[in-house]
Amino acid sequence: MKSFFLYLPLLLSHNAVIAAPSNPCSCDTEVIDLGFARHKVTLRSQTLNGHLVNVYKNIRFAEPARRFNRPTFPPIADDPGVVRTGNYTHDTQCVSAVPQGVEIIYPGVNGTVFGSEDCLFLDVYVPADLPCRVSQTSPNSKSAGVPVLHWLYGSAYAFGSKEFYFTPLGLFDQLLSQDSPFILVVSNYRMGVYGWASSPNEEQTEANIGLYDGLAALKWSEKYIHHFGGDPSRITAGGQSTGAAIVELLSASAEDRYLPFQQAFISSPALPLKWNTTQRRREVFDTVLDAANCSSLICLQSVSEEELREVNRYLLNDVPSLSGGGNFGPGIGFGPIVDGDFVPDLPVGIPTLSKSLGRLKAIISANMANEGAITSSGRGMPEGFPSLVRRILPSATDETIARIQALYQWPDAAPEQLAWQWTADAVFVCHSIAIAEALETSTRRYVMSIPPAYHGLDSLYYFYTDDQITPVQDIAIARSLQALLGEFLYGSEPVMINEGIEWPVYGAGSFLNITALGAKVEDLDGREAQRCAVINEIFADQKNGI
């Protein structure tokens, strides 16, 4: 993999942070009693237009993490005499190791390691006057609250945290200025060895731990967000890249599983689809054991936290990845697998996908126009294309690979575009389209094609604050996208874009193309639909993944 592009300005780069007064209005909002713990405002931030936002940091959403085990929800009860302010002596971010080749704009992060194993925390952002509004409207009703956006950050399954994404103050500024208050929840999940390594031979290792961390955090929002003035019946689970993949997998889970959210905002989901990973999964776990000088899970559980951090760093930085794009780590890389439980199948292989997604009221499915350019290596194309495909589809025949290659066209002078287009479709786009097709009457889709249209750049727009923190080509486009997100959170129908133009659902045969000249509704690209139909058919055939 060439690189994985991600913007990582620190979350606390707020426009202004001011001391939190004990009583912002007539309601008592100094301490929020969650039953299992009591929390006080950690800090109060001020937007450019003067709106105040209370931030409650480092609230536990599960018991302290147990290595290689799914989270335990709800959290254990705190000492009733303790009032938490979000301050801990240890790093509350999950363990991350940032590969050297990652292209980012925050200096000094490449090659670093940070975080700790005790990391199952979330932050809550609340308009300062919101508890008063809600209690004065209907003090005894959970449903009297405002919509909630629960955000899961992108990470390439390797690095990131609730601290590493754009400040939300610009989004609050836009929506509060149009009298559309909401609550934002941002939560951690485990990555690398801690979140995505498991062995089919070890009964005590559980698969997809990072996925279950995301689920536990969303359960927390559903159960406790009313204490902050949020409506648990209006939760939108949103995310970008890995975070979006977690939301997608939860949304596509078995239809009899309960979901703690009602809408999904899925932006560029990084989901390398892999079948029958038993052998390759075992190889990855054996590599983890070897790196730790262990021969069993019991040994791996006993190594010190510092030793396992170094193992994680080594596997993400020094061991070549053969994942095929979208994630880092040895072999097939660290990432989700079909576990027969919450992930019963790949999204493209579920005949009842529409029934699974039918539990949701609405979905936004989004991609960048050039997802693959910086998330894969284009060296050695087109001769190296069969090898690239077989990183994801190891049993693909020469005929199958020729069928895939025939789907693409590229300039003779730029053969790397073959790898970019395949990686974009295989890792980010085609399963996202499968989601849109399965719930076409309730899904809206956009593609951002503002140059360079790289993976993750739309985050600059919906979290736009100013040109220093979130540089964009057009502020008006950023504000329009934020307003669209606000309409989605509120469940507005129809969803309107500039000049009273309606954003139609995917089933109407249209999508929203966000260009440098603005957003416009366009007919679906028939070539993309045909290409993804072939690719999804190939992915759905299990014999290609053996």
**Which residue numbers are catalytic?**
241
Contact in structure between 94 and 119 (CB atoms under 8 Å): yes
Q: How far apart are CA 445 and CA 426, in angstroms?
A: 18
Across 383-463, where does the E strand assignment appear? 443-448
Q: Decide: 181 and 195 in contact? Cβ < 8 Å.
A: no
Tokens read off for 107: 């200096």
* Buried/exposed 450-487: b ≥16 CB within 10 Å, e otherwise: beebbbbbbbbbbbbbeeebbebebeebbbbbbbbbbb
Closest CA to 456 of 164, 126, 184: 164
Check whether the bond before 74 is cis (ω within 30° of 0): yes
First to last CA, the chain: 22
Separation between Cα atoms, residue 417 and residue 410, nearest integer Å = 6
CA 125 to chain centre: 18
Report the C-alpha gap between 324 and 387 in whole angstroms: 9
How far is it, in rounded angstroms, from Cα 211 to Cα 186?
Answer: 15
What whole-number distance in Å separates Cα of residue 146 and Cα of residue 230? Answer: 5
Q: What angle do CA 8, 12, 13 make, to 5 degrees?
A: 75
Contacts of 499 (CB under 8 A, 6+ apart): none
Q: Which residue intervals of 225-273 are DSSP H helices?
A: 242-251
For residue 538, how far is the Cα from the chain centroid? 26
